[in-house]
Structure 1
Amino acid sequence: MDNIGVVFLSEVVGTAILVLLGCGVVANVALAKNKGFGGGFLMVAIGWGLGVYAGVIVAYNSGAHLNPAVTLGLVASGATEFGSGVPVTFLSVLVYIAAEMLGAILGAVVVWLAYKQHFDAEPDAGSKLAAFSTGPAIRSYGWNLATEIIGTFVLVFVVIAFGGGRQGEAGGLAALGALPVALLVIVIGTSLGGPTGYAINPARDLGPRIAHFLLPIKGKGGSDWAYSWVPVVGPVIGGLLAGWASVVLLPILS
């Protein structure tokens, strides 16, 4: 298998692991009759952080982007190469993003399989959707968008700063290291995650939302497509801004 094929598979599996563990912890906390029911937001933040840790370990060979905002942020930073020596081209960017989306959908499907009886037993459609995708604590699209931009900016800027993924060097979450990036995701969740549930990753939100829409989940209700653009557009903007900012700020700060 050539490098681009290895990268595609690496990103699919890594993102699937990330979403399986991340959405899995939300299902454990949100769905009734689970042993983790009511575990709280801190449990969710820690679970997502450690889910990222596992995904990065699995997808190290591709640079473990696991997130279109990271991929686009590296492009904006001027990187000329991704993981496994794959050059940055329009095609390679599409391969990364397609793999991340596919992995996110697959991970969400496995969460549904693992919690099938609990989805069936849960009477609240909102709790079922929460296990798949994010939603705002206070719905205000402009402010929700700003929160997602800020959270994703922090994620991608720090990844670039520590990972060396700028000015032509290969990078991604793997370049930062699995444990540091896990801690970074946890602190973003605990500090900036309250208003929107901190998607900070278009694939993480859109992929499971598509799975929610397609799966035969008993009493699932709607997939809240009216909000779905926020956790896609916000992270994309935040990632691009972080990439551009890294070109100006990181040479000064380093």
Structure 2
Amino acid sequence: MNEVFLAELVGTAILILLGNGVVANVCLQGAAGRNGGWICIAAGWGLAVAMAVYCVGRISGAHINPAVTIALMTLGEIETSVVPIYLAGQFVGAAIGAVLVWLTYKRHFDATQDPDAIRSCFCTSPAIAATPWNFVTEFIGTALLIVGVLAISANSNSVASDSIDLSLVFSVGLNPLLVGLLVAAIGLSLGGPTGYAINPARDLAPRIVHALLPIGGKGDSGWQYSWVPVAAPIAGGIAGALLWRSLGF
């Protein structure tokens, strides 16, 4: 099996297991973290990103996000030919992570009657449904993610002066933790309107899993909204990459 595909699969599975796992802990009936609140969720997602990067960053660079992969392709930092391998690993890994969350919290899913709470353990939905503005929120959040990751890379002594390659590639020291803090900061500040997917694989693959799993009272999978957390992060990621290059930092 391709090493990059496997690394992205494992990294994204860890991301979703820990990220959606904290949502399940906060939202599902009877869980120990029930009603832990948004700070708990944002912190959990930030730590999920950091742990995923520490685990597989040395192998694939731990993109664990199609928006990151496409942004790097836009900058010419990775070959177009490897992009499908990255994306395949990310989407398969996200689906596996979502199934693992369901298995971990199976009895709590069974005890929860609120379909919105159940769906939130898999994918995002807007607090106020307003498609253009939901798109803008995801676009801005992902653009900031890409600019922030590239800035962390540029500030790292591990990166050659003539390269903008991600610090994630090295998966050592504080760089992955800093990226996790960046994700937590985006969640705390910008996550309120949409739940901040900022990652197409993180949202779409678990949404498909939600549709397929036999969860009683789960309701619909929110397909009318599903294109926003896919298209907006891709557009925002490209915009963030181009902004970073135009700044000349």
TM-score, normalization: structure 2? 0.92
Match of 2:166 among 164, 171, 175: 171
Q: Is the 8 A contact 2:127 2:193 kept in 1?
A: yes
Tell me the CA shift for residue 245 of structure 1: 1.4
Q: Aligned to 2:83, what secondary structure does the other structure show?
A: helix
What does residue 196 of structure 1 align with? 194
Q: Is the 8 A contact 1:134 1:197 kept in 2?
A: yes
Q: Is the 8 A contact 1:11 1:66 kept in 2?
A: yes
Tell me the CA shift for residue 169 of structure 1: 5.1
Q: Within 1, Cα distance between the matches of 2:33 and 2:148? A: 32
Match of 2:28 among 13, 28, 31: 31
Tell me the CA shift for residue 218 of structure 1: 1.5
TM-score, normalization: structure 1? 0.90
Tell me the CA shift for residue 142 of structure 1: 0.3
1:178-237 CA-to-partner distances (Å, cap 9, x unmatched) read 110010001000010010000000000011101101111121111000000110011000
Q: Within 1, Cα distance between the matches of 2:163 and 2:178? A: 22
Q: Within 2, Cα distance between the matches of 1:171 and 1:180? A: 12
What does residue 13 of structure 2 align with? 16
Match of 2:128 among 115, 133, 138: 138
Match of 1:218 among 207, 216, 219: 216
Alignment RMSD: 1.7
Q: Aligned to 1:59, what secondary structure does the other structure show?
A: helix
Q: Within 2, Cα distance between the matches of 1:142 and 1:94? A: 29
Q: Within 2, Cα distance between the matches of 1:155 and 1:175? A: 18
Q: What code does the residue aligned with 1:9 have?
A: L
Structure 1: runs of 5+ lacking an equivalent? 82-87
Tell me the CA shift for residue 172 of structure 1: 6.3
Q: Within 1, Cα distance between the matches of 2:167 and 2:234? A: 15
Distance 1:172 1:217, change over 3 A: farther
What does residue 241 of structure 1 align with? 239
What does residue 115 of structure 2 align with? 125
Q: Within 1, Cα distance between the matches of 2:164 and 2:120? A: 37
Q: Within 1, Cα distance between the matches of 2:112 and 2:204? A: 22
What does residue 84 of structure 1 align with? none
Q: Within 2, Cα distance between the matches of 1:174 and 1:44? A: 26
Q: Is the 8 A contact 1:25 1:47 kept in 2?
A: yes
Tell me the CA shift for residue 174 of structure 1: 3.9
**Structure 1 residue ranges, 4+ long, deviating more than 3 angstroms after superposition:** 164-170, 172-176
Q: Is the 8 A contact 2:152 2:179 kept in 1?
A: no
Match of 2:141 among 135, 138, 151: 151
Structure 2: runs of 5+ lacking an equivalent? none
Tell me the CA shift for residue 16 of structure 1: 0.2
Q: Is the 8 A contact 2:152 2:178 kept in 1?
A: no
